[in-house]
Amino acid sequence: MTTSAPSFRALKDEALQALHSANDDAAIEAWRIEWLGRQDGRITAILRSVREQPQEVRATFGAGANELKAALETALEGKREALRRAALQSLATAEALDVTLPGRKRPLGRLHPVTQTMRDCLAAFAEMGFRTVEGPEVEWAYYNFDAARIPEDHPARDMWDTIWVDTFIDGQRKMLLRTHTTPNQVRVMERSEPPIRVVVPGKCYRQEATDATHEWMLTQIEGLAVDEGVRMSDLKGTLYGFARRLFGNDRRIIFHHSYFPFVEPGVEMAIDCFICRGAGAECRTCHGTGWIEILGAGMVHPEIIENAGYDSSRYTGFAFGMGVERVALLRWGIEDIRHFYQNDLRFLSQF
């Protein structure tokens, strides 16, 4: 093949034009193979043919061919660089930050009002020397009922009240979602020695028709104090102290007699109704009584003290079981307990 100097220019023009219209990596690579490929590239073929040129033009031909190769290599590098820059440019545009846009608000979470109330209650009892411990939510019928002197035929055991776990042991259901935190009285006494002063918070479950003051899932705090010489007046003093701390001095409280198989005597403590202040016969919250019950309490039954292995002539104790949702209703003047578990942020974010 003999190629003259002017045809080098034509080749160069042709090559550069082809390179110009190659606009991605694949097209550029195809161009490189066509022109500069080591095996069959067109420039490589020209360089191989230098030897075949007549003596008198060989030097000029060789120089022209090398110049053409160098020009195409430079153009190739330039094209690659231009493509890299264009890619970076479009990335910069696509991912550009507009620093003038207003920031996106990240809402802060907060504790559920029942959790806040529970912590405040536990703190009030901690100040009076009560340690917080916990017990299981799925409980044995033994601790929930038998050990608390709730006999087989007690209505609290009925399917209507209790949510049983469908596991049969000796043909009977023996596990349940605890209906109260009272099983922890026995659990704590089994593993410790007097003096005892504990509070046990936790969720409880009952098959309950819900209304403004009843939910089927409720949170209780059980309190237990056992020592020599613990008296009913200690129970009342502790609960008065708690009520003042949570509700202030001007809130009125009342104790009246009640029956729970695990205490003797038993009481209920109620706080004056914040909605009707005792004046509303139709009040949905207190049902016209003027009082909202927040807890059951009493002196631990001597039989339970004995069953724990303590001498009931030496040791006495008091216990209480408080509904935390009821306390939360009262402190914020909420008219319906069911708001707490409907997950409506318009309600929950007010606390």
Q: Determine the distance from the C-alpha atom of residue 256 to the mean position of all C-alpha atoms in its chain, rounded to a whole number.
A: 40
Could you say whether residue 180 binds ligand FA5 (CB under 6 A)?
yes
Return the residue of 298, 301, 330, 339 that touches ligand FA5, per CB under 6 A. 298
Alpha-carbon dihedral angle through residues 144, 147, 152, 154, given to the nearest 10 degrees: -70
Could you say whether residue 208 binds ligand FA5 (CB under 6 A)?
yes
15, 157, 187, 220: the catalytic one is 220
Return the residue of 188, 263, 304, 308 that touches ligand FA5, per CB under 6 A. 263
Return the residue of 79, 157, 326, 331 that touches ligand FA5, per CB under 6 A. 326
Distance CA 218, CA 329 (A): 13
Q: Output the six-digit token pair for 299.
A: 């002196």
Could you say whether residue 72 binds ligand FA5 (CB under 6 A)?
no
Counting other chains too, the contacts that 333-342 makes at CB distance below 8 Å and 24 or more residues apart are: 333/274, 333/275, 335/212, 335/275, 335/284, 335/285, 336/212, 336/284, 336/285, 337/210, 337/212, 337/213, 337/214, 337/215, 338/210, 338/212, 338/215, 340/112, 340/113, 340/114, 340/215, 341/215, 341/217
Could you say whether residue 321 binds ligand FA5 (CB under 6 A)?
yes
Could you say whether residue 214 binds ligand FA5 (CB under 6 A)?
yes
Distance CA 248, CA 240 (A): 10
- Smallest gap from Cβ 169 to ligand FA5, in A, equals 24
**Which of 309, 70, 324, 285 has its CA nearest to residue 181?**
324
**148 noted as active-site residue:** no
- Smallest gap from Cβ 347 to ligand FA5, in A, equals 17
Could you say whether residue 295 binds ligand FA5 (CB under 6 A)?
yes
- Angle, helices 25-36/5-21, rounded to nearest 10 degrees: 160
Return the residue of 323, 329, 331, 340 that touches ligand FA5, per CB under 6 A. 323
**Which of 27, 8, 11 has its CA nearest to residue 19?**
27
**160 noted as active-site residue:** yes
Distance CA 330, CA 235 (A): 21
Footprint of ligand FA5 on 182-201 (CB under 6 A): 182
- Residue of minimal Cβ distance to ligand FA5: 323
Could you say whether residue 264 binds ligand FA5 (CB under 6 A)?
no
178, 180, 187, 331: the catalytic one is 180
- Smallest gap from Cβ 104 to ligand FA5, in A, equals 39
Binding segment for ligand FA5 (CB under 6 A), chosen from 17-25, 30-38, 105-113, 259-267, is 259-267
- Smallest gap from Cβ 94 to ligand FA5, in A, equals 56
- Smallest gap from Cβ 134 to ligand FA5, in A, equals 16
**220 noted as active-site residue:** yes
124, 308, 319, 327: the catalytic one is 319
Assign 119 to helix, strand or coil.
Answer: helix
Q: Output the six-digit token pair for 256.
A: 């009246």
**319 noted as active-site residue:** yes
**Which of 154, 155, 225 has its CA nearest to residue 185?**
225
Binding site for ligand FA5 (CB under 6 A): 180, 182, 206, 208, 214-215, 218, 220, 260, 263, 266, 293-298, 319-321, 323, 325-326, 337
Enumerate the active-site residues: 160, 180, 206, 220, 263, 319
